[in-house]
Structures are given as C-alpha cells and as structure tokens.
Amino acid sequence: MTPITVQWLPSSSHFGPALAESLGLAGHAIELHRFPDGELRATVGPVATTTIVCCSLDYPNEKLIALLLTAEALRRNGASRLVLVAPYLGYMRQDTAFHPGEAISQRAIGTLLSNNFDRVVTFDAHLHRTSNLADIFPGAEADNLSAAPEIVALLRADPVAAASVVVGPDEESRNWVADIAGQLGLSYSVAQKVRKTDQSVQVTWSDRTQFAGRPVVLIDDIVSSGGTLIACGEALTAAGASSIQAIVVHALFPHPLMPLFGRAGIRSIRSTNSVQHPTNAMSLNNLLAHALRNELDSLRLIGSQA
C-alpha cells in the first residue's frame, strides 16, 4: 500500500488532479454509478494509508452520500487517515434553531463528516455565531483557510483596482475586507445590510460621497441568490461609482443571473475555483498544496523513524 494519495469525486475534477500534481502524488478519480432508483455506488481508486479526498460541497446532498460511501470503502480497504478537502463547505449557515422544530444543519453535518474524516480543509467557511471551525468537527482537525492571498494577487495585477475603494457587503465582511485593502494600500468601506428574504436585501452606507467618480472593488465570500450583490451594485451606481467589479470566493449562483448583475452596474465578476463556475479566475490549488504539505512531512518523519 502506498503511503499517501489524492482521490476526487467527479464534481471536483476541476481541482483534484491539479492538487495531486502540485503535491507530487498519485491521483485517482472516484467512480460513481447511479442505479435506476437514484442510489449511488462509489468505487475508489488504489487505497493509501493517508488518502486526501477532494469534494467541494456546493449542491451538497448527493455529494454527502457519495462521501459516506467513499469513506467506507477507503477505511475497509486499509486507509487509516482520511483528509477531506472541501474548498466550499455547505450547510454552515444554519448554526442555531431560529424557529421551533428547525434542525441545526451545521451541527448535524459537522458530526457526520468528523465521524468519517480525520481532517477537514476548507476556505472562508460561512460562519456566523461559531467562532472556530474546529468546534463544528468534534474529534477531527479543521483548517479554515483564507482565499485573501489569491484575491490580493489578482488585484495587484489589475490597473483599475489601484485607484479603487474596496467594499464589503455587510459588517461580517469587515475584517477580511480591511485586511485585503490594507495589503493593497487602498481605502475600504462596509455596508449596513438588512436581509428581508433570501432574495430581498437592503444596503446603505453612512457616507455615499466616498464612491462618487471612483472605481469600486466589491468583495463577497458567497454569492448564491445574488440579492446582496445586486443591491450593492445598485446602491453604488446610485452613489456615482465610476465602475464596479466584484470578487467572489464561492460563486454558487446560476450563470443566467449575470445579466442582472450587469444591469445593477457590476462590470465583471471573478471568483475562485472553490466551486466550478464560468466566473472562475483564481485558483486555490497553491494554497491547498501548501496547507497539505504537512501530511507529506508527517509521513516522511514516520518513515525516517522506522
């Protein structure tokens, strides 16, 4: 049995093979077969002592079942350590029961994954009242990486961004928007947001004059329904922004929404490859490879002591 390998579900073939190559490891695609009644059969590749499993958890329901089947096959065939690489981690928004009878999905999915994986690696998890990702995965290691280095690198190469105001859509974005703006030597501003429904959002700024005649870089962690991005675009356009571009970590929205963003004044949207999307412009592979090199180092240390 080899000491370490990378495997990926079909939906994560946009980054799994590249991650294996970056780490200098063998890589294998996990095969999924769908039976007529909708059940899945998972077939894993050659098992290693440590197996890194790649599966970004957008549209997560079926993928979670596939991960359970994958973990069972890998463990039964001899894997002793399983590392889940999920650049986007679904089911994090429901971290409490807001109404009687509601399930706390963050707790349920966190327990499910920690029961099957020894380590979970993700980017910019959508946490609200939970301060630490490790609290979600009892008994497992957890890495909540930041996509900020790739965003900074992208904007450093963008001549328009050099004169822009960096904008966050809500108070929750303040810390990382301030960090990105600080690294670029730019000013920043954060909106006050009131969410009325999943798709109805109101945003305001205490000082709208700061945007008049200036380009704006709007940075958000997740865009799914597009309501927040559209509201921000409309408000910034009304405030006189000369241009608006959006940078998104997790692009979950359907591509047909793009004309709506354009009508709101957003000139372009660029995203990371945490999920496969037509707007992908930043690869997280180097950041992932750096975070996972300790898996290789640990095995080398064990080998040297044997």
CATH of the domain at 40: 3.40.50.2020
Summarize pLDDT for 156-182 with one digit per residue, the tens.
999 988 889 999 988 888 888 999 999
Q: What pLDDT is stored for residue 77 in this prediction?
A: 96
Tokens 């966050």 belong to residue: 168
Single out the residue of 281, 280, 270, 293 nearest to residue 19, CA to CA: 293
Q: What pLDDT is stored for residue 2 in this prediction?
A: 82
pLDDT at 306 over 80: no
> Residues 58, 84: one domain?
yes
Q: What pLDDT is stored for residue 298 in this prediction?
A: 67
pLDDT (average), residues 20-28 = 96
> Residues 94, 152: one domain?
no
> Residues 277, 152: one domain?
yes
Q: What is the mean pLDDT of the chain?
A: 91
> Residues 55, 76: one domain?
yes
> Residues 233, 291: one domain?
no
DSSP-assigned beta bridge partners for residue 269: 246
Using pLDDT thresholds of 50, 70 and 90, give the confidence band for residue 246: very high
DSSP-assigned beta bridge partners for residue 245: 217, 268
Report the percent of the chain where pLDDT is more than 70.
95
Tokens 């963050």 belong to residue: 106
Lowest mean pLDDT of 11-15, 39-43, 60-64, 297-301, name the range: 297-301
> Residues 171, 268: one domain?
yes
Amino acid at 102: E
pLDDT at 199 over 90: no
pLDDT (average), residues 259-269 = 96
Using pLDDT thresholds of 50, 70 and 90, give the confidence band for residue 98: confident
Lowest mean pLDDT of 4-8, 9-13, 126-130, 177-181, name the range: 126-130
Phi-psi region of 106 (alpha: psi -120 to 50; beta: other; left: phi over 0): alpha
Using pLDDT thresholds of 50, 70 and 90, give the confidence band for residue 94: confident
Q: What pLDDT is stored for residue 303 in this prediction?
A: 44
pLDDT (average), residues 202-217 = 89
> Residues 207, 252: one domain?
yes
pLDDT at 301 over 70: no
> Residues 274, 198: one domain?
yes
The domain in which residue 217 lies consists of 148-282
Q: What pLDDT is stored for residue 197 in this prediction?
A: 58
Q: Count structural domains, the chain.
A: 2
Using pLDDT thresholds of 50, 70 and 90, give the confidence band for residue 49: very high
pLDDT at 299 over 60: no
Long-range contacts of 33-42 (CB under 8 A, 24+ apart): 40/65, 40/66, 40/69, 41/69, 42/66, 42/69, 42/70, 42/73
pLDDT (average), residues 273-293 = 97
> Residues 137, 236: one domain?
no
Could you give the maximum distance between any two Cα atoms of the chain, in Å?
Answer: 67
The pTM for the full model equals 0.92
Using pLDDT thresholds of 50, 70 and 90, give the confidence band for residue 278: very high
pLDDT at 300 over 80: no
> Residues 107, 242: one domain?
no
Q: Please name the residues in contact with 168: beta carbons below 8 A apart, sequence gap of 6 or more.
A: 174, 176, 177, 188, 189, 190, 191, 219, 220
Dig out the tokens for 258 from the structure. 């793009």
pLDDT at 264 over 90: yes
pLDDT (average), residues 94-121 = 91
> Residues 126, 186: one domain?
no
> Residues 69, 51: one domain?
yes
pLDDT at 8 over 70: yes
Using pLDDT thresholds of 50, 70 and 90, give the confidence band for residue 79: very high
